[in-house]
């Protein structure tokens, strides 16, 4: 007990990394309460997308084999067994740091956890085969403070699909967000060292051959969440995230909007962004790192019909993967992954 208390004090007083939180939800297409409470949960998570990411396990609660569950029932069942879950909609924030019916989760709970620093930093990136039928995942976990005597740490990876539309389920839902498609390399994850010095790193490479189903995963919508979990108490100590290559916040982008072009990528000096709009619109351009931090001040432009913006990145540090977000006043959001060299 003294060892645990001492380690907790060390984490609280010396933690050096901003936490990115993980929310895991057990939901289901045949679950009427899920249709009632999921919109509010999604609104809260979307409003805090720089603080928290989510994995949604589509279960067969209360009955049947709905299509999203049927795509990968083994991983969903393993997650349910791990958390001893038998109800929906039910959520876990950072493991068992908070758990309960999702309507009990709120901004105050989220903010309190976000204020607790993490002893790890995690970077995540993904790439695809030329045929876009295999995803390759690269995860780097780095200790930002010394840790000792924690033999039950494991690294886990969840591949999720950002947005799934095109059908209406039994309970009336027709928009499914952050749906778990695959846990890698398996639901139990990868064992990690019990002892870490500051700066120690572990690199994990994983891949998944995307297989067909109903619906088949859209590779452009696939995201990756990697996290460190302490099996002793199921505490998620840190999360890393790599968003989808191309996403929009609405199924049907604003009429007349053309493809947003971003080049060069990778970029060493100046990033160019170009797009045309049918009518004048306000545009916001921002850039975040893997932990949701904004290294550059957002750019706000008004009454734009022809976007032609250049952003200097030569002084951006550290180099690596960043997420460029372009948002219009009609709430159409385009996301691009940008590699800064």
In the chain, CATH 2.60.40.10 sits at: 261-340
Of the candidates 331, 335, 333, 329, the residue with the CA atom closest to the CA atom of residue 279: 329
Summarised one tens digit per residue, pLDDT across range 238-252 is 999 999 876 444 434
- Cis (ω within 30 of 0) for the bond into 36? no
pLDDT at position 338, please? 83
* Model confidence band, residue 3 (pLDDT cutoffs 50, 70, 90): very low
Task: Indicate if the pLDDT at residue 75 is higher than 70.
Answer: yes
Across 68-78, average pLDDT: 97
17 has pLDDT over 50: yes
In the chain, % helix, strand, coil (3-state, to 5) comes to 15, 45, 40
**Structure confidence by residue, pLDDT tens digits, 323-341:** 788 888 765 666 677 888 8
Average pLDDT of the residues in 3-11 = 35
Residue 11 pLDDT greater than 80, yes or no: no
Give the distance, in angstroms, between the CA of residue 288 and the centroid of all CA atoms in the same chain: 13
Per-residue pLDDT tens digits for 107-150: 999 999 999 999 999 999 999 988 889 999 999 999 999 999 99
**How would you class 22 by CB atoms within 10 Å of its CB: exposed for 0-12, middle for 13-18, buried for 19 or more?**
buried
Q: What percent of the chain has pLDDT over 90?
A: 66
Please report the pLDDT score of residue 30 as a whole number.
92
Where are the domain boundaries for CATH 3.40.30.10 in the chain?
2-242
pLDDT tens readout for residues 191-237: 999 999 999 999 999 999 999 999 999 998 999 999 999 999 999 99
SS3 of residue 122 by DSSP: strand
Looking at domain 2-242, what is its CATH homologous superfamily? Glutaredoxin (3.40.30.10)
Domain 261-340, what architecture?
Sandwich (2.60)
pLDDT given for residue 291 in this prediction: 58
């Amino acid at each position: 007990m003294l060892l645990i208390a001492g380690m907790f004090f060390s984490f609280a007083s010396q933690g050096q990394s901003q936490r990115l939180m993980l929310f895991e939800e057990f939901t289901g297409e045949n679950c009427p309460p899920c249709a009632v409470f999921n919109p509010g949960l999604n609104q809260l998570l979307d409003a805090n997308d720089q603080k928290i990411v989510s994995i949604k396990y589509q279960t067969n609660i209360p009955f049947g084999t709905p299509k999203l569950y049927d795509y990968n029932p083994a991983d969903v069942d393993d997650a349910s067994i791990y958390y001893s879950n038998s109800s929906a909609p039910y959520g876990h924030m950072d493991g068992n740091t908070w758990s309960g019916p999702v309507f009990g989760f709120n901004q105050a709970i989220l903010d309190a956890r976000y204020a607790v620093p993490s002893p790890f930093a995690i970077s995540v990136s993904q790439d695809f085969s030329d045929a876009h039928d295999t995803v390759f995942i690269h995860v780097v976990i780095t200790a930002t403070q010394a840790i000792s005597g924690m033999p039950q740490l494991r690294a886990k990876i969840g591949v999720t699909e950002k947005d799934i539309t095109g059908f209406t389920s039994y309970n009336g839902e027709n928009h499914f967000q952050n749906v778990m498609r695959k846990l890698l390399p398996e639901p139990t994850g990868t064992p990690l060292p019990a002892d870490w010095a500051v700066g120690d790193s572990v690199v994990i490479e994983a891949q998944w051959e995307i297989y067909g189903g109903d619906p088949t995963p859209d590779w452009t919508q696939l995201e990756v969440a990697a996290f460190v979990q302490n099996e002793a108490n199921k505490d998620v100590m840190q999360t890393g995230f790599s968003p989808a290559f191309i996403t929009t916040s609405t199924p049907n982008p604003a009429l007349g909007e053309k493809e947003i072009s971003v080049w060069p990528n990778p970029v060493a000096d100046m990033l160019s962004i170009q797009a045309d709009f049918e009518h004048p619109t306000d545009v916001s351009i921002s850039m975040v790192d893997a932990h949701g931090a904004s290294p550059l001040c957002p750019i706000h432009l008004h009454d734009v019909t022809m976007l032609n913006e250049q952003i200097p990145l030569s002084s951006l540090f550290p180099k690596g993967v960043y997420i460029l977000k372009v948002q219009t006043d009609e709430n159409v959001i385009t996301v691009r992954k940008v590699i800064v060299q």
